Amino acid sequence: MDENHSAVVQRLFDENPRYRRLYEEHAILERQLAEWDTKKYLSPEEELERRKVQKLKLAGKDEMEQILRSWRR
């Protein structure tokens, strides 16, 4: 990530409420996944929840990238 990219992300974070919310949700989901990754075994329910969180995280990241691309145009 270059300095210009970081500046753009910071500006979007400061000025775009949707981007900010997605960024914060992404961080929360990342922490949840990290907690599950420390376990040696996940119950079937935990594994299902982990997959759900992974999909939510990916969808949020995709939307953040879409906002970033739109802003750069």
Q: What is the pLDDT of residues 13-60, one digit of tens each?
A: 999 999 999 999 999 999 999 999 999 999 999 999 999 999 999 999
pLDDT at 28: 97
> What is the model's pTM?
0.84
DSSP 38-73: T-S---HHHHHHHHHHHHHHHHHHHHHHHHHHHHH-
The answer to whether the CB of 52 falls within 8 A of the CB of 45 is: no
CB 68 within 8 A of CB 18: no
Total structural domains within the chain: 1
Distance CA 41, CA 23 (A): 29
pLDDT for position 2: 62
Residue 30 lies in domain: 3-72
Asked if 10 and 19 count as a contact pair (C-beta separation under 8 A), the reply is: no
